[in-house]
Amino acid sequence: MPRPDVTTLLPERLLKRVLTVPEVDEMAGDKVVESQPNLSEAGLYRDADTGEAILVYAPCPRPVTTLRRHIPGIHWTTTLRASGNRNVSKIFGMTNRAVVLRREACSPAGLTWEHPELQMELNRMSDALGGYLQEILPEVHEHDLQTLKQVLPEWRMTEDSLWTSGVINQSSALPYHRDNSNFDTWSAMPIVRRGMSGGHLRLPEYDITINCRDGWAVWFNGHKYLHGVTPMASTRPDGYRYTLVFYAKRGMKDCHTYAVEMGEAKARRSVRELTIAEKVKVK
């Protein structure tokens, strides 16, 4: 299928809800069982009863060639999830304060300094994904853009971006979850993969398994809809599956200007260091 530009309108398709919200809530945290894709056609998908837009599925509006070249060089972070799964990922864009992690200021994620060329490409991808959503669903784009006015422009990926942040997941079969730390807005997820089977996006509320094919993208509200990833396996030694999830992190609304954040972080570090020094003296 030829790659569309932002003037290409997608066919509209209908999805029938098969589970209620309380029913899917019971699935949160569960591993996703193997499931073959039953959604593989590009389109704007709406709820069959309400007409509400549920997701957009189409070839990515920007080529993933540059991403494919730069992503393998990332220094990955491995975390152990409550489900027991290990998730290998890398945060990009902006991060908010997190006392538990001793992250004392809102700041650009480490990828910005470690791989500036990749971060610049992610910024360009952010604009392309947002522009495509604006063409297909202008009402959703406007709602999300208004929501993001709670965040200072310097904490968005670009000045007019719908997203503050993102994560690159490396071959990760994520359990069912909602993106609860994000705004109630749409995310975008381009896919970059080679030599992998499985690893498709599952939305149980509509009994759909979305074909996560290379060079395509999915737009949907990950805060609202429970979702997870089916099991995957490499079909060759150098196989990989990267998903790049662009999202609007709710914690970024509490960030001051960059200058204020840096000043307050310096003050907090000084207080902490003095406290540690006093404890050492007591011992």
Q: How many domains does the chain have?
A: 1
Domain membership of residue 3 (yes or no) is no
**Which amino acid makes up residue 72?**
P
Assign 163 to helix, strand or coil: coil
Q: How many CB atoms lie within 10 A of CB 84?
A: 8
Q: How far apart are CA 64 and CA 191, in angstroms?
A: 8
Enter the pTM of the model.
Answer: 0.90
Q: Is residue 214 part of a domain?
A: yes
- Domain containing 158: what range? 12-282
Give the pLDDT band of residue 275 (cuts 50, 70, 90): low
Domain presence at residue 1 = no
Say yes or no to pLDDT of 273 above 60: no
For the segment 213-249, what is each residue's pLDDT rounded down to a tens digit? Answer: 999 999 999 999 999 999 999 999 999 999 999 999 9
For residue 124, being part of any structural domain is answered with: yes
Give the pLDDT score at 101: 60
Q: Which residue has the higher pLDDT, 258 or 205?
A: 205
pLDDT of residue 103: 75
| E strands, 139-186, in order | 165-170
pLDDT for 48 equals 98
Residue 29 belongs to a domain:
yes
For residue 160, tell me if it sits in a domain.
yes
Instruction: Answer positive or negative: Cα dihedral of 261, 251, 57, 201.
Output: positive
Q: How far is CA 119 from the centre of its chain?
A: 14
pLDDT digits (tens, 9 = 90+) for 132-177: 999 999 999 999 999 999 999 999 999 889 999 999 999 999 999 9
Query: What is the per-residue pLDDT for 78?
Result: 86
Structural tokens at position 184: 């109630």
Cα–Cα distance list, 165 to 122, 126, 248 (Å): 10, 10, 6
Residues 129, 63: Cα–Cα separation, whole Å? 11
Structure-token pair, residue 228: 């997870």
CB 199 within 8 A of CB 148: no
Q: Does the residue 150 lie in any domain?
A: yes
Residue 5 lies in a domain: no
pLDDT score, position 9: 78
CATH code of 165's domain: 3.60.130.30
**pLDDT above 50 (res 4):** no
